[in-house]
Amino acid sequence: MRTVSALLFLAILARGPAASSQAQAPRPPETYSFTETNSMMVEGMTIKIARDGSRESMEQIVAPGANGSGMHVRALYDFAAHKVYTIDVAGVHPCTVVTYTSPNVPPIYDPIPGAAEITAGLAKDKPPVLRTETLNGIPTKVIEMPDADGNGKTRLWLEEKLNFQVKWVTVAKDGHEQTQMEIRALSYAKPPADLLVPPQNCEALAGETNANGGHVEMGSPVATAAGTRAQALPRRAPQAAGAPPAAAAGQRMPGSAQVTEVRALGVGPDSHYAGPSPAAFEFKFSITASGPADIKYILVNQADRVSASGTLTFDAAGTKELTVPVKVGVPNGTHWDGSGKLQIYAPNKIESEPVKVSADCRKQ
């Protein structure tokens, strides 16, 4: 299964083109911060990164809009302690902490540590640098790579010396361009120390995660910092770092009406998309509530990451249908497999079964 991410980008590089004769990239900086626009998983997401040595803060921000109420989640990675803390800035979910086994944040969000892999891939061939360009104050070199099927190309802005990805644009054969990510502000100054202090009293989760995903059991008994064991709670769904806490069927919050059932009705207009990028799907669900309530939900993809969020209001007990539109930026000529499931996190926690989707994107 292939997903639209920096991992796909690295796989493309590993099989051929190179823009530099250097076999190794200079050592990446240990302190930096930047703001990035990123549409690889959720269209229009803002990423804020701050790293100082073995700790890194990552914020994911999606503004409220027609497709939902938005989200604002911060993850703090402590690579030396092999932990990642997830904090819902809005305060809806409790802070959680889980074992994290990778040495860096997923490259889909922070491309700087992946510069060595990019350089190694680029060293296999030497395509010409189209031009040098200062992009958002960052000196870059611009290269292009054709898609394997000849229906488009990938245009990359690489930092001039370190070779990390500053901007990624997919270009269809007809010239239509789509920006997948772009770093808009970069500083190598030391970030504020208080941004990298681990939060206290976070719920410890069993299992582990890494830069490629993982399996985490929310509420499972684990050893706490004091050496005791946390109370066992009902099993919840797997969660990847950087997403709001996943939901557990049947766990109730007192003092309000409850969601008693969530069912997946399917996906339209077709579960298999064939057409120009981005692939467009409309996930459809049925939600039943026992009384008046504001139902808060997230749509989680196959990598256990949030694809959409929103609120559905019930004025009385009953059943409503919910349609959640999602766009996935699949490069032209690429096959993609994925899924989506609805997780309710207020007023109680319950989730649907996953709905599988796929896409074969081509030129417009």
Each residue of 2-22: pLDDT tens digit? 333 343 444 444 333 333 334
For residue range 193-238, list pLDDT tens digits in order: 999 999 988 888 777 788 866 544 443 333 333 332 222 222 233 3
pTM above 0.85, yes or no: no
- Give the pair of three-digit tokens for residue 150: 């000849």
pLDDT of residue 21: 37
**Domain of 301: which CATH number?**
2.60.40.10
Residue 151 shares a structural domain with residue 278: no
263 in the same domain as 152: no
- For residue 353, what pLDDT is reported? 92
In a domain, 230, yes or no: no
Higher pLDDT, 25 or 54: 54
Block residue for tokens 């008693």? 260
Residue 118: its H or E element: helix 115-122
More confident residue, 98 or 66: 98
* Count of domains forming the chain: 2
In a domain, 41, yes or no: yes
Asked if 332 and 279 count as a contact pair (C-beta separation under 8 A), the reply is: no
Q: What number of CA atoms fall less than 13 Å from residue 192's CA on the CB side?
A: 2
Range in 89-98, 285-294, 336-345 the model is least confident about? 89-98
User: How many helices (H) and strands (E) would you count in the chain?
Assistant: 2, 22
Please indicate, yes or no, whether residues 23 and 151 belong to a single structural domain of this protein. Answer: yes
pLDDT band at 117 (very low <50, low <70, confident <90, very high): confident
User: What per-residue confidence (pLDDT) applies to 139?
Assistant: 97
In this prediction, residue 20 carries a pLDDT of 38
Q: For residue 261, what pLDDT is reported?
A: 95
What's the CA gap between 350 and 143, in Å, rounded?
A: 47
Cα separation, 25 vs 117, whole angstroms: 8
Radius of gyration of the chain from Cα atoms?
A: 21
Does 104 fall in a domain? Answer: yes
Peptide bond into 64 cis (omega under 30): no
Top-confidence residue, 289 or 277: 289
Q: What CATH number does residue 89 fall under?
A: 2.50.20
- The whole-number pLDDT of residue 67 equals 52
Residue 76 clears pLDDT 50, i.e. is over it: yes
Return the pLDDT at 9. Answer: 47
Give yes or no for a contact between 32 and 112, defined as CB atoms under 8 angstroms apart: yes
Q: Taking the alpha carbons of 138, 141, 145, 151 in that order, is the dihedral positive or negative?
A: positive
CA angle 49, 242, 43 (to 5 degrees): 80
Collapsing DSSP to helix, strand or coil, 112 comes out as: helix
Phi-psi region of 242 (alpha: psi -120 to 50; beta: other; left: phi over 0): left
Are residue 253 and residue 145 in the same domain, yes or no? Answer: no
Q: Can you tell me the mean pLDDT for 333-338? A: 81
- Name every residue whose Cβ is closer than 8 Å to that of residue 116 and which is 6 or more positions away in sequence: 24, 25, 28
By the 8 A CB rule, do 126 and 18 touch? yes
Q: What is the pLDDT of residue 230?
A: 28
171, 259: one domain: no
pLDDT for 186 equals: 96
| Calpha distance 296→92 (Å, rounded) | 10
Q: In this predicted structure, which of 8-17, 96-105, 146-155 has the lowest mean pLDDT?
A: 8-17
Same domain, 43 and 148: yes
127 & 20 share domain: yes
Q: Which residue has the higher pLDDT, 202 or 247?
A: 202
Specify the residue for token string 């209001």.
313
Q: Are residues 31 and 180 in the same domain?
A: yes
Q: Which two structure tokens, joined as six digits, stand for 352?
A: 């649907």
* Residue 235 placed within a domain: no
Q: DSSP string covering 314-332, please?
A: ESSSEEEEEEEEEEE-PPT
Please check whether residue 209 is in contact with residue 246, taking contact to mean a CB–CB distance below 8 angstroms.
Answer: no
Residues 147 and 12 in one domain: yes
Query: What is the domain extent for residue 123?
Result: 6-187
Final residue of a structural domain among 187, 205, 233? 187
> Stretch 108-124: mean pLDDT, rounded?
81
pLDDT in tens, 18-36: 333 344 557 889 999 999 9
pLDDT value for 143: 92
- Domain annotation covers residue 146: yes
Residue 236 within a domain: no
Residues 6+ apart with CB under 8 A from 292: 257, 314, 315, 316, 317
Question: Are residues 168 and 292 both part of a single domain?
Answer: no
Give a yes or no: residue 209 inside a domain. Answer: no
Portion of the chain with pLDDT greater than 90, in percent: 39
Residues 153 and 292 in one domain: no
- Asked if pLDDT for residue 182 goes beyond 90, the answer is yes
Q: Are strands 279-289 and 306-314 parallel, antiparallel or unpaired?
A: unpaired
pLDDT of residue 322: 95
- Within this chain, do residues 15 and 108 fall inside the same structural domain, yes or no? yes
Where residue 363 falls among pLDDT bands split at 50, 70, 90?
low
Tokens read off for 288: 């039943």
74 is a domain residue:
yes
Domain endpoint, select from 187, 205, 230: 187
Amino acid of residue 125: D
Average pLDDT over residues 251-276: 81
